[in-house]
Chains A and B, each alone.
Chain A
Amino acid sequence: MSNKKRRYIGVGLPYHDTGELQGTLIVIEGTDGVGRSTQIEDIKGWLEVKGYGVVTTGWTRSPLMVKAIDEAKSGHTLNVNTYSLLYAADFADRLENHIIPALKAGFVVLADRYVYTAFARATVRGTSREWIRGVFGFALEPDAIFYMKIKINDLIPRVINTETMAKRYWTEQSGEGMDYWESGMDLRLGDDFYDSFVEYQKRVLTEFDLMAKEYSFKIVDAAKSFDETNRILKEGIEKILSDG
């Protein structure tokens, strides 16, 4: 793969030289429950068979922050700023200690969500678009962003089904059938989880759709079957990797 000069979303990290990052950063974006993680798992195996070194990275999985975020979330005392900043710290940790080293070593990095998720969630919670983009100004620009786009009507059965709800309520013992945060319950947008979910996700989807233009997302119709969506994603990724 050729040596790409990396760019940042904003002012960047003054203490990192980005000239030497040779891998490829591919982002899969989309709202909660759209099926990103399952796709990424499959694509990772597919790329490895082709001989690519692949690492995946996902939201709030940073070793530094996972405990603090879990604690803060279970306390339900976050406001829009602390909520956004905890995510920013999580992202910075993964970027500097995981994504950048992997790109230096020539890996394909598959990111399950990226800064755009943070932008959508913060904006829906009332923060300024300008502020949240500035906070994440240290983020690398990805080589490609695939946006798994879905309408609210198609999203609902992905979230409200026996398997998902039973897993959350019984297996994970969360006491919830739908997720508190994915339903935007901190915003109290409806009387119950369902009403709030519908209103919250509508707003999140609107933000994603606006960003699709702003950041040139490659739109993938996620309402289609797993196999069909999978095929389209693989075609797109193959193209990015061969264009190198």
Chain B
Amino acid sequence: MPRTFDAPHPFPGRLIIVEGIDGSGKSTQLQLLQRWLLTRKYRVLFTEWNSSALVNDTIKRGKKKNILTPTTFSILHATDFADRLMHLIIPPLKAGMIVLADRYIFTAFARDVVRGVHRDWVRDLYGFSVRPDMAFYFRVPIDVALKRILSGRTALKYHEAGMDLGLSADPAQSFTMFQSRILEEYERIAEEYGLTVINATLSIQKQQSIMREAVMESLKNYRPAPFLKKEGNIYVE
């Protein structure tokens, strides 16, 4: 098995992912895209960057005993992702569906490097993943993101503010410091992997129309039929 991430995937489906810091509006945009694809009769599978009970329990135990390190934290999330990839992402891709992922491995690249692991190492770690067909990065200034989050509710969540890193006792200040570093990593990643950058300060409708246009273009040669036969590593009709 080669490092699958280094080459386009062999499946008939399409993998479209969105990335960006909390408050960038990426989830809203992905939901709107899903609506649109569904009305156009595409078969769509939606998946999020959530952790399973196995990993959550382990991380909880690690925190309680104070033995969790940046490396174990990172590997645990990669393990969880490997499991989701096998169970939730690869089957629909094999069946020829469009998989929409709210956050993907670039989330781990940004977050784990900010937490202290080596940039090359975390990229190696995720070498088993499927290369996305389209990857959108929603670029937004920190203060805009912060305002958006706080307009919906009164308090920042512990983790989105990076409170566990001990950067500042004030959640808003900690958020700004933590998310600025994440943002810096995202900028590097966007360049390195050629992510499609969306100006996330534009209106929701404007962003969505840019996104739909790009997706339409990339679906030009897409055939939604399930392909059941394999020739070598390629699925055929």
CB distance from B152 to the nearest CB of A (A): 34
Given contacts A79-B82, A85-B79, A89-B72, contact A128 B121 (CB under 8 A): no
Given contacts A14-B118, A72-B54, contact A134 B75 (CB under 8 A): no
Stretch among B12-20, B56-64, B161-169, B204-212 lining the A interface: B56-64
* Of the residues A64, A79, A89, contact of B86 by C-beta under 8 Å: A79
Let me know if B3 and A71 touch, CB within 8 A: no
Let me know if A40 is at the binding interface, CB within 8 A.
no
Let me know if B128 and A131 touch, CB within 8 A: yes
Total CB contacts across the A-B interface at under 8 A? 101
Q: Residues of A contacting B83 with CB < 8 Å?
A: 79, 82
Nearest residue, chain A, Cβ from B67: A97
Separation of A127 and B70 alpha carbons in the complex (Å): 24
Let me know if A240 is at the binding interface, CB within 8 A.
no
* Of the residues B2, B58, B125, contact of A135 by C-beta under 8 Å: B125
Let me know if A208 is at the binding interface, CB within 8 A.
no
Let me know if B72 and A131 touch, CB within 8 A: no
* Of the residues B1, B2, B3, B62, contact of A64 by C-beta under 8 Å: B62
Q: Residues of B contacting A72 with CB < 8 Å?
A: 54
Let me know if A134 and B67 touch, CB within 8 A: no
Let me know if B177 is at the binding interface, CB within 8 A.
no
Residues of A within 8 A of B (CB-CB), count? 34
Separation of A97 and B83 alpha carbons in the complex (Å): 26
Stretch among A5-13, A142-150, A196-204 lining the B interface: A5-13
CB distance from A179 to the nearest CB of B (A): 22
Let me know if B82 and A81 touch, CB within 8 A: yes
Let me know if A138 and B1 touch, CB within 8 A: no
Separation of A64 and B69 alpha carbons in the complex (Å): 11
Contact residues of A between 73 and 115, Cβ < 8 Å to B: 79-82, 85-86, 88-89, 92-93, 96-97
Let me know if B176 is at the binding interface, CB within 8 A.
no
Q: Residues of A contacting B127 with CB < 8 Å?
A: 128, 130-131, 134
Let me know if B231 is at the binding interface, CB within 8 A.
no
Nearest residue, chain B, Cβ from A86: B79
Let me know if B116 is at the binding interface, CB within 8 A.
yes
Given contacts A11-B118, A72-B54, A134-B127, contact A80 B1 (CB under 8 A): yes
Let me know if B116 and A10 touch, CB within 8 A: no
Report the contact-size class of chain B (Cβ under 8 Å from the partner): 20 to 34
Q: Residues of A contacting B68 with CB < 8 Å?
A: 64
Q: Residues of B contacting A80 with CB < 8 Å?
A: 1
Given contacts A79-B82, A127-B128, contact A89 B65 (CB under 8 A): no
Separation of A135 and B120 alpha carbons in the complex (Å): 10
* Of the residues A14, A64, A127, contact of B116 by C-beta under 8 Å: A14
CB distance from A127 to the nearest CB of B (A): 5
Let me know if A63 is at the binding interface, CB within 8 A.
yes
* Of the residues B2, B70, B71, contact of A128 by C-beta under 8 Å: B2
Nearest residue, chain A, Cβ from B113: A14
Let me know if B54 and A64 touch, CB within 8 A: no
Let me know if A10 and B121 touch, CB within 8 A: yes
Separation of A15 and B86 alpha carbons in the complex (Å): 32
Separation of A130 and B5 alpha carbons in the complex (Å): 13
> Counting chain A CB atoms within 10 Å of each CB, which of B65, B79, B83 scores highest?
B79
* Of the residues A64, A67, A126, A137, contact of B121 by C-beta under 8 Å: A137
Let me know if B78 is at the binding interface, CB within 8 A.
yes
Let me know if B117 is at the binding interface, CB within 8 A.
yes
Let me know if B48 is at the binding interface, CB within 8 A.
no
Pairs across A and B, CB under 8 Å, 18 listed: A11-B120, A63-B67, A85-B78, A88-B75, A89-B58, A92-B75, A93-B67, A96-B71, A126-B1, A127-B1, A128-B3, A131-B3, A134-B120, A134-B124, A134-B125, A134-B127, A137-B118, A137-B121
A-B contacts besides A64-B67, A128-B2, 15 pairs, CB < 8 Å: A12-B118, A14-B118, A15-B116, A64-B61, A64-B72, A67-B57, A68-B58, A71-B54, A79-B86, A85-B75, A93-B67, A96-B69, A128-B3, A131-B124, A134-B120
Q: Which 8 A-B pairs have the closest CB atoms?
A: A134-B124, A81-B82, A85-B79, A89-B75, A11-B118, A92-B71, A15-B116, A131-B127
A interface residues (Cβ-Cβ under 8 A, vs B): 10-15, 63-65, 67-68, 71-72, 79-82, 85-86, 88-89, 92-93, 96-97, 126-128, 130-131, 134-135, 137-138
B interface residues (Cβ-Cβ under 8 A, vs A): 1-3, 54-55, 57-58, 61-62, 65, 67-72, 75-76, 78-79, 82-83, 85-86, 116-118, 120-121, 124-125, 127-128
